[in-house]
Amino acid sequence: MSLVVLRPRVEQLVSSARVSMPLTRVRLIEAVLAARPGALGGMALSEASLADLEALATAAELEVARRLDVGAHLRVAALKYSRHKPREVVVDILASSGVWRYPMPAGWVHGFSVVRRVESPVDQRPPAFLGAREYRVMSGPDGDHLAFAHLTPGVGQVVRVTFTAPHELAETGTTLPETGWDTVVKLAAGTACLELAAFYSHEQDGGLQLEGVRHGSKGGEFQKRGEAFRKEAEAELPELRAEAVRMPAAGEVSLAADTPFLTH
């Protein structure tokens, strides 16, 4: 599974939220025509075919939807999922003579990662885990280090560190477990719908006054769908309920930062 595969799934869910709302589409068409009188090639509204009007309204909707960064929503969703179900990374550190602290291995994320276990010597039966007071993570100008309180591993001794890290989600693959794919997709669809809701509720694009849409049912519909997707994700991962949900403020909506659609 990867961004390439998950992105269309989110887009499909967001598209399903664009349910048929005739009154809203009429207002959208009127708003487009008010901003661009020539959008119908000089035809009067009464002369335009239903197909012309549908195409006009659909183009406006798609232009807004096109500006959604679905990949960004997926990566944020993967991070939220990781807070409650992080991946575990196991790394062996090869000790050097007289060294009592070591840089945290690749994959460690400052402010997120937590050490779960430190084992040394390794492969013992039973495992030789160090107690919590025998090591600590120290932060400094040169990054985070694993520091030993009393132990100084000998030359060539292996110290096995197990720590948590966020799941990776890239174009070519992911570390997310299969059981978490649907949850992440629904989280991403939820925040994408909330972004669209905020756009339609608070913003106007460059020159296109969407008064009827902005205060009408479209923003509210996306808001409801976003909350519904969120609740579905919470049902699959109840720990998410502890995170506050709010509609982004107008200045926080990335869609509206540069949205000159349907302008000359």
165, 187, 221 - which closes a domain: 165
Residue 103 has pLDDT above 90, yes or no: yes
134, 165, 196 - which closes a domain: 165
Residue 44 has pLDDT above 80, yes or no: no
Sheet holding 158-165, edge to edge: 87-94, 158-165, 115-119
Average pLDDT on 259-263 reads 31
Per the DSSP assignment, residues forming a β-bridge with 163 are 89, 115
In a domain, 54, yes or no: yes
Average pLDDT on 126-151 reads 91
pTM given for the model: 0.68
Domain extent at residue 118:
87-165
β-pair type (115-119, 101-103): unpaired
Considering the chain, what percentage of its residues have pLDDT values greater than 90?
A: 32
Confidence at residue 82, expressed as pLDDT on a 0 to 100 scale = 95
Choose among 193, 188, 221: nearest CA to 10. 188
pLDDT band at 170 (very low <50, low <70, confident <90, very high): confident
| Same-domain status, 201 and 254 | yes
115, 141, 165 - which closes a domain: 165
Greater confidence (23 vs 61) lies with: 61
Greater confidence (231 vs 245) lies with: 231
| Same-domain status, 60 and 109 | no
Confidence at residue 79, expressed as pLDDT on a 0 to 100 scale = 93
Residue 173 has pLDDT above 80, yes or no: yes
| Same-domain status, 160 and 45 | no
| Same-domain status, 28 and 42 | yes
The domain total for the chain is: 2
Confidence at residue 8, expressed as pLDDT on a 0 to 100 scale = 79
| Same-domain status, 236 and 112 | no
Residue 38 has pLDDT above 80, yes or no: no
Confidence at residue 254, expressed as pLDDT on a 0 to 100 scale = 45
pLDDT band at 41 (very low <50, low <70, confident <90, very high): low
Confidence at residue 18, expressed as pLDDT on a 0 to 100 scale = 53
Question: Looking at 106-211, which runs of residues are DSSP E strands?
Answer: 115-119, 135-140, 143-148, 158-165
Q: How far apart are CA 165 and CA 231, in angstroms?
A: 25
In a domain, 68, yes or no: yes
* Mean pLDDT over each residue of the chain, to the nearest integer: 75
